Amino acid sequence: KMLRRYPNLNLHEPFPSKVWWQTFFDKGIIDTEELEQSLSSSKYFQDENTPNWIRLWHFYDLTDDDFSDLLKKVELEYCDRRFSDIREIKHITGILLNLSDIGLYSRNKAKILENSKCYIDQFIKEAQPEKLRQDIAWALDPFSVYLGLAFSGSSLPEFKEFVDYIQEAYKLERLKSMPNDAQNLLATMQSDIWKFYEMICPRSLKNQNVSGIYCEIPILKHIDQADFVEKLLLMNPKHQQLLGYALTKRYELDWVNEKLLEELDWLKSVKALLLKEADNRKGKLSGYHLNLLVGKYFDKAIEKLEAKHSPA
């Protein structure tokens, strides 16, 4: 709206990005990290340390010779698999597809797409699980901006197919690692309840890089219900309540719950086990705590998922 109202305001190649400006004007939030990255990748602040692919992203400002030289360098770096950040892989794929589409790169888009898919296969195979989850989440970010630069070729069907391929390849890898990840999550629940909270709840604006790695993944269903209850009973009452609070926050957003419906039966089974244990401890403070935990948190979590599960 501002760009239309003030046509002389040049934000078409902004540093920082349009997303940064939107967040600033809408929410008053100043993302200093994104600001610094945007400045460093801007064409106005390039130096000898600027990556070749960023220079090529700004190809409109290049001479014929500089363009040809940079394209060869980026192509070589890409073929040699020198990039370990999936967002860079996504950027370079988009750049090459776009250049091919406008007739400035000799390789056709089908070959570029095939090569990029092979790159993703290798990346997923070799990446550490924690870094992989983080990188994939970034790569699939709907804002489509990295280092203040929008992804070239994002409107091309080949680019969209590439992003879909990343998502499907990650799903397959995630399914293989899920049982082990679930056990690690259960251990985290015992050792650091706040970290557990951050891992299963939607990410906050203040901690985008750490929290929420399982916020849209039904990982809890991979934890044995009896094992979960056994570990929960070993926690002190305060941490048990924090655990319950984490569950209500996990299922707070309807659009997230669509992806977590598989946990509904798991929650009901855990609730039944907790009520049985509470009955065994009837007349004891611990039994009261368990009944409170179910009524205050588990019932609400189940209610939220059931509402999403029921037909409109």
Which stretch of 11-15, 67-71, 301-305 has the lowest confidence by average pLDDT?
A: 11-15
| Cα dihedral across residues 15, 16, 17, 18: positive or negative | negative
Nearest Cα to 90, choosing from 170, 5, 184, 25?
170
User: pLDDT band for position 169 (50/70/90)?
Assistant: confident
The Cα 34–Cα 37 span in angstroms is 5
* Average pLDDT for the chain: 84
The Cα 308–Cα 312 span in angstroms is 9
Q: Which of 11-20, 119-128, 148-157, 267-276 has the highest mean pLDDT?
A: 267-276
pLDDT in tens, 197-235: 999 998 653 444 445 788 888 999 999 999 999 999 999
Cβ atoms of 34 and 148 closer than 8 Å: yes
Cis (ω within 30 of 0) for the bond into 157? no
pLDDT in tens, 46-103: 556 788 999 999 998 899 999 999 999 999 999 999 988 888 999 999 999 999 999 9
